[in-house]
Amino acid sequence: MSATILLALRIALAITLYAFVISALLILWRDLKRQSKGVIQTVVPTIKITTREDGTSESYEYTLSEVTIGRDPNSNCQLDDNSISAQHARLTYQQTQWWVEDLGSTNGTFLNQEPVTTPQVITSGDNLRCGRIVFQIQIGDIPGGDADDR
Amino acid sequence: MPDSRKPLILRTQTTPNNRIQGRLLNLASLFMLIYAAILTLSPAVRGRSWDVDYPWMHWVGLLLWFVLFNLAHSLSASRLPARDPYLLPIAALMTGWGLLTVWRLFPALGLRQSIWLIPAVGIFIAGLRFPPVLDFLRRYKYLWLTTILLLTALTLLFGTNPLGYGPRMWLGCCGIYIQPSEILKLLLIVYLAAYLADQNLSTPSSPLLPLLAPTLVITGLAIALLLIQQDLGTAFILLFLYTSILYVSIGRFQLLIMGLIAFIIAFGAGYILFDVVHIRIESWINPWMDPSGSTYQIVQSLIAIANGGMTGRGPGLGNPGLVPISHSDFVFSAVTEESGLIGALGLLLLLALLVNRGISIAINASGAFRSYLAAGLTTLLVAQSILIVGGNLRVLPLTGIALPFVSYGGSSLVTTYLSLLFLLLISVPSEAQRWRVPNLKPYLQLGAFLLCGLGILMLATGWWTLYRSSDLLTRTDNPRRAINDRSVLRGAVLDRSNDPINASTGSAGDLMRQTFYPNLSNIVGYTNPTYGQSGLEASLDSYLRGLGGNPGSLVWWNHILYGQPPPGLDVRLSLDLELQRIVDEKLGDHNGALVLLNAQSGEILAMASHPTFDANRLEENWEDLIQDENSPLFNRAVGGLYSPGAALGPMILAEASGKGELPDIPQDLSYSLNGFTLDCALSPSEQTWSAVVGNGCPHPAANLGSELGSAPLSQLFQDLGLYTSPLLRLPASSSTPDELDLDPAQTALGAGLQVSPLQMALAGATLSAGGVRPAPVLATAVNTPQEGWVILPAIDEPVKVIIPEAADLTARSMAVGGSPFWQSIAISPPNTDNQKATGIWYLAGTLPEVKGTPLTLALLLEEENPKLAIAIGQSVLQAALGAISP
Model pLDDT, residue B884: 62
Question: Smallest Cα–Cα separation from B529: which of B543, B505, B511, B515?
Answer: B511
Model pLDDT, residue A37: 67
- Using a CB-CB distance cutoff of 8 angstroms, which residues of chain B are in contact with residue A94? 82, 429
Which has the minimum average pLDDT: A6-20, A129-143, B478-492, B816-830? A129-143
The residue that leads in pLDDT, B150 or B203, is B150
Tell me, what DSSP letter sits at residue B427?
A: H
**Which of A10, A14, A16 lies at the smallest CB-CB distance from B30?**
A16
Q: What is the mean pLDDT of residues B107-134?
A: 91
Say if A14 is an interface residue toward chain B (CB within 8 Å): yes
pLDDT at B736 over 90: no
Model pLDDT, residue B695: 92
Q: What is the mean pLDDT of residues B439-467?
A: 93
Question: B78 and A118: CB-CB below 8 Å?
Answer: yes
**How many residues would you count in chain A?**
150
pLDDT tens, residue by residue, B187-231: 999 999 999 888 866 555 667 777 888 888 988 888 888 888 777
Question: B2 to each of A69, B13, B20, B690, how far by Cα in Å?
Answer: 32, 12, 12, 103
Evaluated on CA atoms B61, B65, B66, B67, the torsion sign reads positive
Question: A3 and B429: CB-CB below 8 Å?
Answer: no
Q: In terms of CA atoms, which chain A residue is nearest residue B563?
A: A3
Question: A94 and B42: CB-CB below 8 Å?
Answer: no
pLDDT at B615 over 50: yes
| Minimal C-alpha gap between B564 and chain A (Å) | 12
Split at pLDDT 50, 70, 90, the class of A146 is very low
Model pLDDT, residue A130: 86
Helix orientation angle between B804-813 and B649-659, rounded to the nearest 10 degrees? 130
Q: What is the mean pLDDT of residues B532-544?
A: 91
pLDDT at A142 over 50: no
Q: Give the burial class of B640: count Cβ atoms within 10 A of its Cβ; 0-12 exposed, 13-18 middle, 19 or more buried.
A: buried
Q: Which of B12, B27, B341 to mutate to test the interface with A (most CBs of A within 10 A)?
A: B27
Say if A76 is an interface residue toward chain B (CB within 8 Å): no
Q: What is the mean pLDDT of residues A58-75?
A: 82
pLDDT at B9 over 50: no
Q: Cis bond leading into B611, ω under 30°? A: yes
* Cα angle B428-B430-B434, degrees, rounded to a multiple of 5: 130
In single-letter form, the type of residue at position B864 comes to E
Model pLDDT, residue B208: 73
Question: Smallest Cα–Cα separation from B604: which of B730, B754, B784?
Answer: B730
**Which of B24, B81, B431 lies at the smallest CB-CB distance from A24?**
B24
Model pLDDT, residue A148: 40
Whether A139 contacts A121, CB under 8 Å: no
- Using a CB-CB distance cutoff of 8 angstroms, which residues of chain A are in contact with residue B560? 7
pLDDT at B52 over 90: no
Model pLDDT, residue B775: 94
Give every CB contact of residue B312 below 8 A, 6+ residues apart in sequence. Answer: A10, B318, B336, B337, B338, B339, B340, B341, B342, B343
Model pLDDT, residue B385: 96
Tell me, what DSSP letter sits at residue B615?
A: G
- Using a CB-CB distance cutoff of 8 angstroms, which residues of chain B are in contact with residue A95? 16-17, 82, 429
**Which of A4, A99, A119 lies at the smallest CB-CB distance from B561?**
A4
Q: Which of residues 81-140 of A touch B (CB under 8 A)?
A: 92, 94-95, 97, 99, 118-121
**Which of A5, A20, A118 lies at the smallest CB-CB distance from B31?**
A20
B84-88, B133-137, B435-439 — most confident range: B84-88
- Using a CB-CB distance cutoff of 8 angstroms, which residues of chain B are in contact with residue A4? 561
Question: B41 and A5: CB-CB below 8 Å?
Answer: yes
Question: A16 and B78: CB-CB below 8 Å?
Answer: no
Model pLDDT, residue B532: 81
Q: How would you label B588-601 residue by residue, b for 16+ Cβ within 10 Å and e otherwise?
A: eebbbbbbbbbbbb
pLDDT at B268 over 70: yes
Model pLDDT, residue B201: 66
| Minimal C-alpha gap between B115 and chain A (Å) | 25
Q: Which of B101, B354, B363, B561 to mutate to test the interface with A (most CBs of A within 10 A)?
A: B561
Whether A97 contacts A121, CB under 8 Å: yes
* Cα angle B357-B361-B367, degrees, rounded to a multiple of 5: 170
Model pLDDT, residue B155: 79
Model pLDDT, residue A145: 39
Q: Mean pLDDT across chain A, nearest whole number?
A: 80
pLDDT at B572 over 50: yes
Say if A22 is an interface residue toward chain B (CB within 8 Å): no
The residue that leads in pLDDT, B743 or B163, is B743
Q: Which of A7, A11, A20, A23 to mutate to test the interface with B (most CBs of B within 10 A)?
A: A20
Question: A47 to each of A42, A43, A111, B556, how far by Cα in Å?
Answer: 15, 12, 16, 63
Largest CA distance in chain A: 77
A14-18, A146-150, B663-667 — most confident range: A14-18
Q: In terms of CA atoms, which chain A residue is nearest residue B316?
A: A6
**Which of A6, A18, A28 lies at the smallest CB-CB distance from B346?**
A18
Model pLDDT, residue A147: 39
Split at pLDDT 50, 70, 90, the class of A143 is very low
- Strands B571-573 and B493-494, bridge-based pairing: parallel
Q: Mean pLDDT across chain B, nearest whole number?
A: 88
pLDDT at B558 over 50: yes
Whether B503 contacts B537, CB under 8 Å: no
DSSP characters over B354-413: HHHHHHHHHHH-SSHHHHHHHHHHHHHHHHHHHHHHHHHTTSS-------TTTSS-HHHH
- Using a CB-CB distance cutoff of 8 angstroms, which residues of chain B are in contact with residue A21? 346, 349-350, 353
pLDDT at A77 over 70: yes
Size of interface A-B (CB pairs under 8 A): 100
ipTM tops 0.90: no
Which has the minimum average pLDDT: A14-23, B277-286, B640-649, B651-660? B277-286
Model pLDDT, residue B374: 95
Q: What is the mean pLDDT of residues B735-763?
A: 84
Q: What is the mean pLDDT of residues B423-435?
A: 77
pLDDT at B237 over 60: yes
- Using a CB-CB distance cutoff of 8 angstroms, which residues of chain B are in contact with residue A18? 346
pLDDT at B647 over 80: yes
Beta bridge partners of A113: none
**Which of B24, B35, B429 lies at the smallest CB-CB distance from A23?**
B24
- Strands B500-505 and B493-494, bridge-based pairing: antiparallel
* Cα angle B503-B509-B513, degrees, rounded to a multiple of 5: 20
Share of residues in chain B with pLDDT > 90 (%): 51
Question: B317 and A6: CB-CB below 8 Å?
Answer: yes
Give every CB contact of residue B85 below 8 A, 6+ residues apart in sequence. Answer: B16, B17, B18, B20, B21, B24
Q: Which of A5, A7, A16 to mutate to test the interface with B (most CBs of B within 10 A)?
A: A16
Question: B82 and A92: CB-CB below 8 Å?
Answer: no
pTM of the entire predicted model: 0.74
Tell me, what DSSP letter sits at residue B565?
A: P
Split at pLDDT 50, 70, 90, the class of B163 is low
- Helix (H) / strand (E) element for B771: namely none
| Minimal C-alpha gap between A53 and chain B (Å) | 29
Q: What is the mean pLDDT of residues B604-615?
A: 94
Query: Three-state DSSP class for B624?
Result: helix
Which has the minimum average pLDDT: A140-149, B91-100, B288-297, B770-779? A140-149
Evaluated on CA atoms A33, A34, A35, A37, the torsion sign reads positive
**Which of A10, A20, A118 lies at the smallest CB-CB distance from B93?**
A20
Rounded distance between C-alpha atoms, residue B681 and residue B243, angstroms: 84
Model pLDDT, residue B2: 40
Model pLDDT, residue B3: 42
| Minimal C-alpha gap between B558 and chain A (Å) | 9
pLDDT at B624 over 50: yes
Which has the minimum average pLDDT: A59-73, B26-40, B336-350? A59-73
